[in-house]
Chain A
Amino acid sequence: MIAYNRDWLDALLTKKTAAQWHEKGLLSDSQWSSIQAGYPAGFYSPNLFIRIGLAIFGLILLSAVMGLITLFFSPDSELAFFLLSIVWGVMFLVILEVWAVQRAHHFGSGIDDMLLYTGICAIIGGLYYVIPNSAGPLLYCCIAWPFLVIGSIRYLDHLLTIAAFICSLLIILLIVKEIPDMALYLLPFSGMIFSGSVYFGARRGQQNYTWRHWHNLLVMLELLALVTFYASGNYWVIQQAGLEWFALEQVPIAWFFWAFTFGVPLLYIMAGLSIKDRLLLDIGLGCIGAAVFTFRYYFQVLPLAWAGTIAGAVLFILAYTAIRYLHRYDRVFTYAAETDKSLLQEVEEQLIEQTIANQPSATPPAQQDTFGGGQFGGGGAGDNF
């Protein structure tokens, strides 16, 4: 089912776990090197920046190939475009399978990612050429769905997993939306039920050792499910959707959705802390932010500047006291950094260092006359990422 060499995937997993134990001093250096020797993995998975570079130039290359083929055949009908897209898609997927994965052993190298994405996009896009223009979004989602699901399962791809999840959610919502009379009431709850079942399914799947290669994808699904569960009951989402789809000014059972907007983030955080689940905790914290924004959207109790200042001070003091507390009592929770930084955390570290530099700097004179409105000009430091 998986395109990549499963023994090597196992080796990667073992080495990644053992590396943490080694770093904590639970394994001696000689044990660590014998584990490394005992679990060889021959994948070509370069450094993140090389991967980004390969992805950029791979995409240009594939576009050039598509351009050349188009130029050569110069198709003039919709059918020809359809056939051409299918040909590209199949060609890229065959190259991915036969060359990139089997022969060159690429695994998350940027090249295999791009071959997969362009291949799948070409096939789905080609199919969209031939369906009638009157087709609704539901048909589009249903056509894309199998490719996204199979692609994410076979190539262990995160982006396709996200796309597959969103596509599934859309299919369900679009079907429920067509139910006469009841749609408005059923929509939020169908979103919640879908997210809830994905959440618990993904959590159970993570326990399953035979599904270990999909572990990261299941974590991704868990994360998405938490977000969409909250979004399904958030007052702002409900109100906007009601206005957009049903021209409804007033949200029915508003009290329930308000309680949901504020209750669920707290529930997430409490559950996250009590079962020590980072995803629940982090998404709960994020949802608190969303809840505050939702509230401010409807009730402007404080001017924005005051709200920002107070929120900033509260956040800072809260974190400060929490760190102080954890320094004294760090048996259950700790402020010490974990050894395995996720990619997201590394990106955040970079971002923090870079955005500090884009803070308001003193008086840009070009705006000297219109200086009154608070200056967030930033200091013209060029593009940094």
Chain B
Amino acid sequence: MYRQIIRNLLQQALITPADAGKITQFETRKPFSLHWELKTMLYLGVLLLNVGLGVLVYENIDSIGHVVIITAIGLVSVGCFWYAIRHRYPFSLGEVKSPTPYYDYILLLGCLTLLLMEGYWQYQYQIFGTRYGLATFIPMVLFFAIAYWLDNRGVLSLAITALASWMGITVSLQEILTKNDFSSQAIAHTGIFLGALLTVIPFALERINIKKHFSLTYLNFGVHIGMISCLAGLFLLDIKIVYFALLCLFTGFFMWYARTRHSVYFLTVVIVYSYIGITYAIFTALPDFNPWFYLFYFLISCIGIIVFLTNYKKFFKNYTP
């Protein structure tokens, strides 16, 4: 295939015969990259190890073997962190490259096994007693620290998840106390709050120039958690107008973000979520069922969005492709 392309380019004098020779040599000699295969294997290995060990601990909880297993998990965790700390590059507020190709995976394995250990201690010895919040609060702080110190977005995702479950837990405990339908409302509110928080954090950090490349990870969590919570509130809870307003707020913010930062990903995601919300709002506001109206609504709204999406470049501020 490439030979024919070289021939065409030569004919049009777009490349010189010397270039053609170089290219042919490159194409015949280029080494075969096993990058993706090996990376996938590393990742699957971490995943399987973590799941397998996680089940093993609890299956063998009453036998002698579990001491051995928990020691092994501890050793794995310590070994991983030892490796990660020994091989780290010096800290910087900007982006730091991984020192070795398997570095990220080893660090990840360390964090995951640490979580396993912590869960086991809480289960067996109740080290945090009944303060369940603490059981997620500590790994959260730890993971945020590791993510920033060793510059790892995978660990940052873990930290954000821990943050979410820490907030969720606090909420769920209230649910146990009050035992009324306040529960789902509390979860929706926490979700909206968390979404907003995750959306604001990166801007604050960007302002003081700390780890700018983490922004997308925060915003990605923020947009989904925030907008899903708004939609849940809109669908299930009482004061719909509030959630609709919040949804519009999120939509406006991320539209602004997409416009100024030229992000088609956020543009599309926000349009899909807000379309669901706005469609629901219109249909509940107009109670009587008229199929003609609904179908024309879909027809016209979709044409509008398609026209908008195909012209997204005009929507972007100062966009030069």
Chain A: residues with CB nearer than 8 A to chain B? Answer: 13-14, 17-18, 21, 24, 26-27, 31, 34-35, 38, 44, 46-47, 49-50, 52-54, 56-58, 60-61, 63-65, 67-68, 71, 109, 111, 206, 209, 212, 215, 276, 278, 281-282, 285, 303-320, 322-323, 326, 330-338, 345, 348, 352-366, 368, 371-376, 378-384
Contact partner, A14, options B9, B59, B268, B295, Cβ 8 Å: B9
Question: Does more than half of chain B's interface fall in helix, strand or loop, or is it mixed?
Answer: helix
Asked if A356 contacts B31 (CB within 8 A), the reply is: no
Q: Chain A residues near B271: list those with CB within 8 A.
A: 53
Q: Contacts A56-B272, A382-B228 given; indicate if A333 touches B296 (C-beta within 8 A).
A: no
Q: Chain B residues near A313: list those with CB within 8 A.
A: 45, 49
Asked if A382 contacts B191 (CB within 8 A), the reply is: yes
Q: Contacts A209-B4, A305-B56, A335-B38 given; indicate if A276 touches B32 (C-beta within 8 A).
A: yes
Q: Contacts A307-B52, A338-B35, A354-B157 given; indicate if A365 touches B42 (C-beta within 8 A).
A: no
Q: Contacts A309-B52, A335-B33 given; indicate if A54 touches B306 (C-beta within 8 A).
A: yes
Contact partner, B9, options A18, A50, A58, A282, Cβ 8 Å: A18
Asked if A353 contacts B154 (CB within 8 A), the reply is: yes
Asked if A362 contacts B295 (CB within 8 A), the reply is: no
Asked if B45 contacts A312 (CB within 8 A), the reply is: yes
Q: Chain B residues near A383: list those with CB within 8 A.
A: 224, 228
Q: Chain B residues near A65: list those with CB within 8 A.
A: 299
Identity of the chain A residue whose Cβ is nearest the Cβ of B167 in the assembled complex: A380
CB of B139 within 8 Å of the partner chain: yes
Listed from nearest, the 3 A-B pairs whose CB atoms lie closest are A312-B48, A316-B45, A308-B52
CB of B15 within 8 Å of the partner chain: yes
Identity of the chain B residue whose Cβ is nearest the Cβ of A366 in the assembled complex: B172
CB of B196 within 8 Å of the partner chain: no
Asked if B49 contacts A368 (CB within 8 A), the reply is: no
Tell me which of B86-94, B116-124, B202-210, B236-244 binds A. Answer: B116-124
Cα(A212)–Cα(B8), bound, Å: 14
Residue of A310, A314, A374, A376 ringed by the most chain B CB atoms within 10 A: A374
Identity of the chain A residue whose Cβ is nearest the Cβ of B36 in the assembled complex: A345
Q: Closest CB of chain B to A207's CB: distance in Å? A: 8
Cα(A80)–Cα(B38), bound, Å: 56
Q: Chain B residues near A21: list those with CB within 8 A.
A: 23, 26
CB of B305 within 8 Å of the partner chain: yes
Contact partner, B14, options A31, A215, A362, Cβ 8 Å: A31
Cα(A209)–Cα(B312), bound, Å: 37
CB of B267 within 8 Å of the partner chain: yes
Identity of the chain B residue whose Cβ is nearest the Cβ of A275 in the assembled complex: B32
CB of B135 within 8 Å of the partner chain: yes
Contact partner, A379, options B26, B109, B161, Cβ 8 Å: B161
Residue of A21, A311, A383 ringed by the most chain B CB atoms within 10 A: A21
The 15 sampled A-B contact pairs (Cβ below 8 Å) are A18-B5, A49-B264, A49-B268, A49-B269, A53-B268, A212-B1, A308-B55, A348-B40, A357-B157, A362-B135, A363-B136, A364-B165, A364-B169, A371-B123, A380-B168
Q: Chain A residues near B49: list those with CB within 8 A.
A: 308-309, 312-313, 316
Cα(A55)–Cα(B88), bound, Å: 44
CB of B78 within 8 Å of the partner chain: no
Asked if A68 contacts B14 (CB within 8 A), the reply is: no
Q: Closest CB of chain B to A54's CB: distance in Å? A: 6
Contact partner, B5, options A17, A26, A63, Cβ 8 Å: A17
CB of B309 within 8 Å of the partner chain: yes
Q: Chain B residues near A334: list those with CB within 8 A.
A: 31-35
Cα(A21)–Cα(B2), bound, Å: 11
Cα(A18)–Cα(B89), bound, Å: 36
Cα(A27)–Cα(B302), bound, Å: 44
Cα(A50)–Cα(B225), bound, Å: 21
Identity of the chain B residue whose Cβ is nearest the Cβ of A209 in the assembled complex: B4
Q: Chain B residues near A318: list those with CB within 8 A.
A: 41, 45
Q: Contacts A14-B5, A316-B45, A384-B224 given; indicate if A374 touches B54 (C-beta within 8 A).
A: yes
Identity of the chain B residue whose Cβ is nearest the Cβ of A316 in the assembled complex: B45
Asked if A309 contacts B12 (CB within 8 A), the reply is: no
Cα(A209)–Cα(B3), bound, Å: 10
Asked if A310 contacts B51 (CB within 8 A), the reply is: no
Contact partner, A310, options B36, B52, B272, Cβ 8 Å: B52
Q: Closest CB of chain B to A325's CB: distance in Å? A: 10
Q: Chain A residues near B275: list those with CB within 8 A.
A: 57
CB of B235 within 8 Å of the partner chain: no
Q: Closest CB of chain A to B141's CB: distance in Å? A: 12
Asked if B309 contacts A54 (CB within 8 A), the reply is: yes
Identity of the chain A residue whose Cβ is nearest the Cβ of B43 in the assembled complex: A352
Asked if A330 contacts B302 (CB within 8 A), the reply is: no
Asked if B123 contacts A333 (CB within 8 A), the reply is: no
Cα(A111)–Cα(B306), bound, Å: 9
Q: Chain A residues near B185: list those with CB within 8 A.
A: none
Cα(A204)–Cα(B295), bound, Å: 49
CB of B281 within 8 Å of the partner chain: no
Q: Closest CB of chain A to B5's CB: distance in Å? A: 5
CB of B173 within 8 Å of the partner chain: yes
CB of B37 within 8 Å of the partner chain: yes
Known: A17-B2, A57-B275, A312-B46. 19 other contacts (CB 8 A): A35-B15, A52-B268, A53-B271, A57-B306, A60-B298, A304-B55, A315-B41, A315-B48, A318-B41, A334-B32, A335-B35, A353-B154, A360-B115, A361-B139, A362-B119, A364-B169, A379-B165, A380-B168, A383-B224
CB of B108 within 8 Å of the partner chain: yes
Q: Chain B residues near A382: list those with CB within 8 A.
A: 164, 191, 221, 224-225, 228-229
